[in-house]
Amino acid sequence: MNLIIDIGNSRAKVVVISGDTLCKEYVREAFDAELLDHILADFPNINRAIIASTRGDEEQVKSIVERHVDTVIVFKPATTPIPLANHYHTPETLGADRLAAAVGAQAMHPECDIMIVDFGTAITIDFVEGGAFKGGNISPGVTTRFRALADYTARLPRCYATHEVLDYGRTTTEAIEQGVMRGVEHEIVGYMEGFLQKNEKKCIIFTGGDAKYFVKRIKNTIFADCEPVIFGLNRILNYNAERI
């Protein structure tokens, strides 16, 4: 039974997986010994764990987990073996979540070239082509764009993501909402058009907290929530545990 610990900028997601079955998910602001005790009370047979974090606290989390779990792996894109070729030139700067999502997406759709769009604090657009992680691009996320308009202008209000689709705003609030949402939409559609033109067997996956706002705006996509990252980390854990 595997413990997947995915610590992002704003929250920690911890998932228990048995085989390929997700047993339970825990979401907290941070990972600590109290949470681990709670998880082990629910699932005492956990014997392997993997840790990925954007906060730089991997070793601290590892010291908590390894007291109770036999095999603990800290996922580092530059050094941790993965079942996918990585063509990124600076793997030491590559976000663990981006590479884990690529591993997970490739395992879910092994016959396809894949474009993965993660709608978070930053929007990442990554590509798996020919069985390898090719890299991708990063731009400001939806919330980041709204915050920038409010913080760096004198009179524009702080606005938020919306499901409403309008051709143009009729108030300043609507103008900001539609400007940001449609701006992201056209940005992603532009990437999709180039990707779809050069690939025959293709798959486009949307994930991340703001993906729900774009699955209806942009067609021919798969909404996967956070499954590619979690599934990828689980696959990386199994891959490395078998090598030990």
- List, by residue number, the catalytic residues: 97
DSSP label of 217: T
Write out the DSSP string of 102-166: HHHHHHHSTTSEEEEEEESSEEEEEEEETTEEEEEEEEE-HHHHHHHHHHSSSSPPP----S---
CA 221, distance to chain mean position in Å, is 16
Kind of pairing, strands 122-129 and 71-74?
unpaired
Kind of pairing, strands 12-18 and 21-28?
antiparallel
| Unique residue bearing structure tokens 């591993």 | 103
Question: Beta-carbon neighbour count of residue 155 at 10 Å?
Answer: 6
